[in-house]
Chain A
């Protein structure tokens, strides 16, 4: 039982490229900063160009 748990907790080494590909697949097509994007959207809508 204990051995089984240890096996479950065992660390695996993942190459950096594969790890980043995995993260990229998890985050693909997601809005990563929804609150920030909304804050910037509101800001941009208020923003007035000056002297251009």
Chain B
């Protein structure tokens, strides 16, 4: 997925709930990061895992995915997060991985409004779907290479309010991205 050398080494951790990856972001401070491929459901014969990522909180022992860490090493962290995708498919070659940002959930706009400083117009929350956009941009930029190894799908809400998924189209405004490994 990402062969950049500018990434942190990861530790793989098995879990009955899926697969976890751990690494330390060494920017302005040291932050323990956790990538979680958590089992969601078996749907239409496919085991589907959610691709989640956040900071480990030493005090609460929980993962926080709603904050922007601003540790000064965002590209290196992003490269590291992406580098875990092939590792996931080594373990689960026939399963599906889905990415849906924490700011793409239903009701995000309403939760954002009371504390947001941006003066967004109605139904045009600028903070919504920011996280999935980062992944989409990466897929869009590298689609030709990635598409040889993975089959991508994009999720969107149609005019009738139905959630739909189609074969990924570059540049389209998706709220989720999922992928399976091609049998090459």
- Tell me the A residues contacting B by CB distance below 8 Å: 16-17, 19-21, 23-24, 26-33, 36-37, 39-41, 43-52
Q: Which of A24, A29, A46 contacts B11 (CB 8 A)?
A: A24
- Tell me the B residues contacting A by CB distance below 8 Å: 11, 13-17, 20, 22-24, 32, 34, 36, 38, 40-41, 43-44, 48, 50, 52, 54, 56, 61, 63, 65, 98, 100, 102, 105-106, 155, 162-167, 176
Top 5 A-B residue pairs of the complex, sorted by shortest distance between their CB atoms: A24-B13, A20-B11, A20-B22, A32-B36, A46-B163
Give A12 to B98 CA distance when docked, in angstroms.
39
A6 to chain B: closest CB distance in Å?
21
In the complex, are the beta carbons of A32 and B98 less than 8 A apart? no
Most buried by A among B36, B162, B167: B36
Give A32 to B32 CA distance when docked, in angstroms.
14
- List chain B residues, Cβ under 8 A from A16: 24
- List chain A residues, Cβ under 8 A from B98: 40, 44
A-B contact count (CB 8 A): 104
The interface residues of chain B, by DSSP majority, are classed as strand
In the complex, are the beta carbons of A23 and B32 less than 8 A apart? yes
The interface residues of chain A, by DSSP majority, are classed as helix
Q: Which of A28, A29, A40, A49 contacts B40 (CB 8 A)?
A: A40
Give A16 to B24 CA distance when docked, in angstroms.
8
